[in-house]
């Protein structure tokens, strides 16, 4: 799986390259969530941090070989005056190209404590298999 954001060229700073992501053209602030991807014999597991989002606010879609993640986060309502703000609130967006060895019909996900876990099972033919070696 590879992120769809265009990599920066040597002359282009990383911040500028991230702005070329087509989804950043939508109105509002979008953050790129941090992810970890772990591979086992049976699947790839993607862990995405979505602080402030709720399960109902997460939109996960698979279409034409692309997995897109969009999380909506509502602005915080405070009854008292804000003295300091270091945490910026906004929506999350990230997209990944999915290899054809992933069984798209079995993709599953759960959301707990601000972390989205996406299970991307491998097709049977893509799973490693043990080959017995016989002595001659």
31 within domain boundaries: yes
Please indicate, yes or no, if residue 16 is contained in any of the structural domains.
no
Residue 134 in any domain: the answer is no
Whether residue 45 lies inside any domain: the answer is yes
| CATH code: domain of residue 59 | 2.60.40.790
Q: Give the highest mean pLDDT range of 19-23, 82-86, 111-115.
A: 111-115
Domain containing residue 64: 2-7+26-75+88-124
- The answer as to whether 97 is a domain residue is yes
Q: Is the residue at 15 inside a domain? A: no
Residue 131 lies in a domain: no
The mean per-residue pLDDT over the stretch 49-53 comes to 89
Number of structural domains (the chain) is: 1
pLDDT digits (tens, 9 = 90+) for 58-100: 999 999 899 999 988 887 776 677 788 777 778 899 999 988 8
Enter the tokens of residue 74.
Answer: 């509502």
| β-pair partners for 108 | 119
Which pTM does this prediction carry?
Answer: 0.70
Residue 49 lies in a domain: yes
């Amino acid at each position: 799986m590879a992120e769809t954001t265009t990599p920066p060229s040597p002359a282009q700073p990383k911040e500028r390259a991230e702005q070329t992501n087509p989804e950043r053209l939508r109105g509002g602030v979008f953050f790129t969530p941090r992810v970890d991807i772990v591979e086992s014999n049976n699947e790839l597991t993607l862990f995405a941090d979505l602080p402030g989002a709720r399960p109902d606010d997460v939109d996960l879609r698979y279409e034409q070989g692309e997995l897109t993640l969009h999380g909506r986060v509502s602005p915080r309502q405070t009854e008292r005056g804000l003295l300091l703000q270091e945490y910026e609130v906004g929506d999350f967006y990230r997209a990944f190209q999915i290899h054809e060895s992933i069984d798209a019909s079995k993709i599953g996900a759960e959301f707990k404590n601000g972390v989205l876990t996406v299970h991307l099972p491998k097709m049977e033919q893509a799973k490693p298999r043990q080959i017995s070696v016989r002595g001659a």
